[in-house]
Amino acid sequence: MNLFAQKIGKVVSEIPKERHYDMVALLLRAESAGLWDLLVYAPWASKNIVGGIDHMIASLSKHLTKEEMRKISGIVVLDKNDPAMKSLRDCSRPDLPVVELRGCDVAGNEIREGYVFHPLLDADR
C-alpha cells in the first residue's frame, strides 16, 4: 500500500464511531492524471450528502498536507443502491478491513490502483 493510501486509512480509522463511514474507497482511475477519487458510504451521509462531504474534508484536513489534499479530485457520497457500491462489493471483500484493487471496473471506470477501507472491521480487531 502506498504512503498516501496509508495516511487515508489512518484518517478513516480515527473517525469516531458515531460518525463513521461503513466503507471508504480511494480510487485512482486508469485515465487519471494522478488524482484520486474518494468514495464514501454511510447511511447518515447518504441522507445528508453535504454534511458527509464536509465531515470527510474536516477529518482529512487534520492529517493531510495541502499538497496531499490536492491529490484528491473529489469526494462522492454513495447511496447503498449506487452502481459504484455494487461494483465495489463485487471487487472487494467486505469481511476484510482493507482491500487493494488493481485493474478492477468500478461503475464503468477502470481502476489502476485502489483501496477499500471498512473502518469498523479494523476497529474490531
- List the chain pLDDT tens, one digit each, 125 residues: 899 999 999 998 888 776 788 889 999 999 999 999 999 998 889 899 999 999 999 999 999 999 999 999 999 999 989 999 888 888 888 788 899 998 889 989 999 999 999 876 554 43
- pTM of the predicted model, to two decimals? 0.89
* Max Cα distance, the chain (Å): 36
C-alpha cell read off for 10: 489512518
Nearest to 25 by CA among 61, 78, 83: 78
Number of domains comprising the chain: 1
Domain extent for 112: 3-124
Residue 124's pLDDT is 46
